[in-house]
Amino acid sequence: MADNVFFNIQILRAIAAGLVAYYHLQPMLAVIHDITDVRFLAFGVDIFFVISGFVMFISNDKMNKGALLFMVLRLLRIVPLYWIATLTVVAFYVIGFQPNGLMSLNSDVLVKSLFFIQSEFEDGRYDLVLSLGWTLIYELFFYFVFSLTFFLRSARKSFVAVALIFAACLLVGYLVPDLPRGVAYFTKPIIVEFLFGAALALVVMALRDRGVVLGNGAARASAGAIILALGLALMIEIVSPTVPGISRFIVWGVPALMIVAGLVGLEYAGYALKGRVALLLGAASYALYLFHPVIMQGVVKLFVWFTPVSGVAGVVLVAAAALAAAAIGSVLVHLTVETPILEAGRRLTRRMGTLLARPRYGV
């Protein structure tokens, strides 16, 4: 770990994206053979939200970045690749591929989707062209709310402010059940998962700033491993995202927090995974998240069209091929498309930072 870069968290990103990928692969494999629907794999999204809250707070611990600069950086990180992925889906739809179950499309739906505005399709669903973009709506909302607190110049004050804004959103959602869909979206309890990660970051920063020893030690490593194991056990045990009387942010958010906390604890104890391939997949996790549905659907269709796959063996073969193709494809997208975009974005924001830092008058 160096300069707030956590190797374990980077690899956890790859794992979370892989879990979501297999979750989406399951209905595709059903055309080959009936399989067990492992629904809890969708918790990869909850892990991403906790990671996001953790990373945003711990990487902005000094709170010395301008809100505008912060938002530009986050938009450059999220939007260009999302647009490319969305337009890729559109391109496959135009040639008759029907990607991700996309059966109809018009310009209004497309334009709204590019700006993360969900709309109603002809089949009745209220969605984006790239349906998994629903998580990015929450990500951008969190970034925006977080940016509003930068003037406080304190991570703890920022956390309190973000928590109060989120609490107000939840209260509005509870008191006004008939809100428009676009507004009601931001009143869902799942937004609390960002606060879980942010709270973990505050704890880590407080221990670090007070000189509490977080270095090597069998006891500390054991504590991290136990927390990680408990989080995994809880996550696997609860296979439904909606348990009566308990919201998703508790059912899956708390175990996700435990998994992230356990891996952070292990890294501070000196146990970090640094495999080059795993770290590369972690770096490519956003590309994997965006592009895996189209890649995997293409692989499954090719197998179904051109090979006599069937039964359990066929499912295993196709699943392995689809996941491998998604991993390789995402790495290629990361290296050839995403990385140049991010480098260009960094150059742009450096210029912005210089301009914003210049005095307005005089020398």
Mean pLDDT to the nearest integer, 62-81 = 89
In a domain, 289, yes or no: yes
Look at residue 355 in the predicted model and tell me its pLDDT: 59
213 pLDDT higher than 60: no
Query: How many residues in total does the chain contain?
Result: 363
In a domain, 315, yes or no: yes
In a domain, 363, yes or no: no
Look at residue 358 in the predicted model and tell me its pLDDT: 45
Mean pLDDT to the nearest integer, 130-136 = 95
In a domain, 202, yes or no: yes
Look at residue 363 in the predicted model and tell me its pLDDT: 34
pLDDT band at 348 (very low <50, low <70, confident <90, very high): confident
Rounded CA gap, 241 and 231, in Å? 15
Range of the domain at 54: 7-357
pTM beyond cutoff 0.95: no
Higher pLDDT, 100 or 363: 100
Say which amino acid occupies 244: P
In a domain, 1, yes or no: no
Higher pLDDT, 35 or 174: 174
In a domain, 293, yes or no: yes
Rounded CA gap, 53 and 38, in Å? 26
Q: Is 318 helix (H, G, I), strand (E, B) or coil?
A: helix
Mean pLDDT to the nearest integer, 241-251 = 67
Instruction: Give one DSSP letter per residue of 11-50, joined into a string.
Output: HHHHHHHHHHHHHHHHHHHTTTS-----GGGGGHHHHHHH
236 pLDDT higher than 80: no
Number of domains, the chain: 1
In a domain, 2, yes or no: no
Q: Residue 162 contacts by C-beta under 8 Å, 6 or more apart in sequence?
A: 142, 145, 146, 149, 194, 195, 198
Residue 64's region, left for phi above 0, alpha for psi from -120 to 50, else beta, is: alpha
Look at residue 217 in the predicted model and tell me its pLDDT: 67
Mean pLDDT to the nearest integer, 320-327 = 96
pLDDT band at 61 (very low <50, low <70, confident <90, very high): confident
